Amino acid sequence: MTDEIGAPRGHIKDVGIETGAARLTPEIIRKTALRMLHEEAGARLRTYLDICVRCGLCSNACHYYNSMGGDPTYSPAGKVKETLSVIMAKNGRVDVEFMKKACEIAFTECNLCRRCAMYCPLGIDTATMMLFVRRLCHKLGMVPQYIQDTAHSHSATMNQMWVKEDEWIDSLQWQENEAREEVPDLRIPLEKEGADVFYSVIGPEPKFRAQLIYQAAVIFHKAGVNWTMPATPGWDNSDMCMYTGDMEMMSRLKKLHFETALRLRAKRIVMGECGHAFRSVYDMGNRALGWRYPPVPVIHAIDFFHEILTQGKIKVAQKYEKPVTIHDPCNIVRGRGLHEKLREAVGMLCETVIEMEPNREHNYCCAAGGGVINCGPPFKMKRVLGARVKGDQLMEVHKKGGVTCIAPCHNCHGGLEDILHHYKIPMDLKFLGDIIYQCMEK
């Protein structure tokens, strides 16, 4: 046991945090914080702060705490103590250095994974408080550069990756052409009114992982799904504004997304394999607009794949032989309870499954979620170190013979890729769609 507590913070220089901080004064911080405390710190937040008995039972819920040698400043309650507790207690009288540190903690040391809410006997939701701190940082104009840039892209183009209107259509048409080499009568139906399924994806799909659209098209085609994609903005379901605390932009993004589904008279929105986007569409964005539940049913790809597999619309030609493990993305497991369907689907597709422990709702986050990976290269090392427990889990699986990790989420892929590489775990990563595409009767 050492007395030294608290990881060094502030040595990572981030353009967004630095330029934001340069414009700040304690007076600006105080005024902004006071206004936010007054207007937005509601009963939930205040009660959480009031009643936390600082028992530390949430500590081992957090992968950062577990990965960082039990440094208590990484425990959920520790992160609150380092940030919001002080802001609240001092009524916003904190200095610029303090806010820089708070910004780093809230943006890069919490994945908003909500695991700790499951481990705190009082049900205190630390993620809510970290998001509050992020929003304060947003209002102070101090947000890590990479994720801020992404939020700007959302604002300008209504998608995450600066994809222009024509580029979006062009990528779909290009994927359609590619896929027709394999399935000559395949279509990616654009702007088809009254389809059963409006398929929406995240910005990086057309930009970097277009083959996923290709695969989805082949799967939908073979399953005989009546589906469509829009030729207008509104196609992107992703949302980094939700994670920068820019709730106004989050609302705008989700409004357009839902309006697009309503305009196309689609019966359901089926989303690609992404976790955060699901949280935005299913949980946070709709609420910010006044919708208790999404106006159009929102189905995550796992749910949909499970449906078409169990209905026999997709037939498995040959099961995936290499032993696989399943990474449960927080936002569709603690966020939607899809872990059993995921396992059933994997069971139909793969010969051998080796589970990581703990799993299902109790999974560890990959440390990429909650916008942390989107804070970019400056914070990459911290993120990978914060995911050591995930690395340990994967190493265990590898030792038991696991070869492939199935992770039905984009950000998880990014995070796990770095983990596998850093901890030298020779496993490969796949989306469930990859496996279906590979194993199905075509």
Residues of span 97-126 touching another protein by CB under 8 A = 117-119, 121-125
Residue 361 interacts, among ligand SF4, another protein, none and using kind-specific CB cut-offs from 5 to 8 Å, with: another protein
| Token pair belonging to 14 | 């981030």
**Residue corresponding to tokens 């689609």:** 266
Q: How far is the CB of 79 from ligand SF4 (least distance, A)?
A: 6
Q: How far is the CB of 124 from ligand SF4 (least distance, A)?
A: 4
Are the beta carbons of 410 and 344 closer than 8 angstroms?
A: no
Q: Which one of the spans 105-113, 217-225, 357-365, 387-395 is the region binding another protein (CB under 8 A)?
A: 357-365
Sites of contact with ligand SF4 (CB under 6 A): 52-58, 61-62, 64, 76-77, 79, 110-116, 120, 122, 124, 126-127, 130, 365
Q: How far is the CB of 420 from another protein (least distance, A)?
A: 26
Could you say which residues in the range 270-309 bind another protein, by CB under 8 A? Answer: 283, 287, 289-293, 295-297
Q: How far is the CB of 48 from ligand SF4 (least distance, A)?
A: 7
Angle at 146 between CA 140 and CA 151, to 5 degrees: 65
Angstrom distance (rounded) from CA 212 to CA 204: 10
| Token pair belonging to 160 | 């995450």
Could you say which residues in the range 304-333 bind another protein, by CB under 8 A? Answer: 333
| Token pair belonging to 181 | 């080499």
Residue 264 interacts, among ligand SF4, another protein, none and using kind-specific CB cut-offs from 5 to 8 Å, with: none
Q: Are strands 404-406 and 324-326 parallel, antiparallel or unpaired?
A: parallel
Q: Which one of the spans 58-66, 92-100, 387-395, 406-414 is the region binding another protein (CB under 8 A)?
A: 58-66
Short-list 293, 376, 301, CA closest to 331: 301
Q: How far is the CB of 328 from ligand SF4 (least distance, A)?
A: 14
Q: How far is the CB of 44 from another protein (least distance, A)?
A: 5
Q: How far is the CB of 16 from ligand SF4 (least distance, A)?
A: 20
Beta-bridge mates of residue 223: none
Q: Name which position in 156, 181, 424, 426 contacts another protein (CB under 8 A).
A: 156
Q: How far is the CB of 292 from another protein (least distance, A)?
A: 3
- All residues at 6 or more sequence positions from 255 whose CB lies less than 8 Å from its CB, including other chains: 289
Residue 111 interacts, among another protein, ligand SF4, none and using kind-specific CB cut-offs from 5 to 8 Å, with: ligand SF4
Q: How far is the CB of 207 from ligand SF4 (least distance, A)?
A: 27
Q: Name which position in 34, 189, 210, 417 contacts another protein (CB under 8 A).
A: 189
Angstrom distance (rounded) from CA 417 to CA 420: 5
Q: What DSSP letter does each residue of 121-146 carry, written as one string?
A: TT---HHHHHHHHHHHHHHTT---HH
Angstrom distance (rounded) from CA 37 to CA 242: 19
Q: Collapse the DSSP code of 58 into the 3-class scheme (helix H, G, I; strand E, B; otherwise coil) and give the result.
A: coil
Short-list 240, 262, 235, CA closest to 250: 240
Asked if 68 interacts with another protein (CB under 8 A), we say no
| 202 phi and psi angles, rounded to 5 deg | -100, 155
Q: What track of x and - describes contact with another protein for positions 17 through 56 (by CB under 8 A)?
A: --x-------------------xxxxxx-xxx-xxxxxxx
Angstrom distance (rounded) from CA 427 to CA 442: 27
Residue 112 interacts, among another protein, ligand SF4, none and using kind-specific CB cut-offs from 5 to 8 Å, with: ligand SF4
Angstrom distance (rounded) from CA 132 to CA 230: 34
Q: Name which position in 9, 28, 86, 141 contacts another protein (CB under 8 A).
A: 141
Question: Which residue lies nearer to ligand SF4 by CB, 282 or 431?
Answer: 282
Q: Are strands 428-430 and 404-406 parallel, antiparallel or unpaired?
A: parallel
Neighbour count for residue 60 (Cβ, 10 Å)? 15
| Token pair belonging to 141 | 């104009």
Q: How far is the CB of 36 from another protein (least distance, A)?
A: 12
Residue 333 interacts, among ligand SF4, another protein, none and using kind-specific CB cut-offs from 5 to 8 Å, with: another protein
Question: Which residue lies nearer to another protein by CB, 59 or 404?
Answer: 59
Q: Name which position in 31, 35, 90, 164 contacts another protein (CB under 8 A).
A: 164
Angstrom distance (rounded) from CA 201 to CA 433: 13
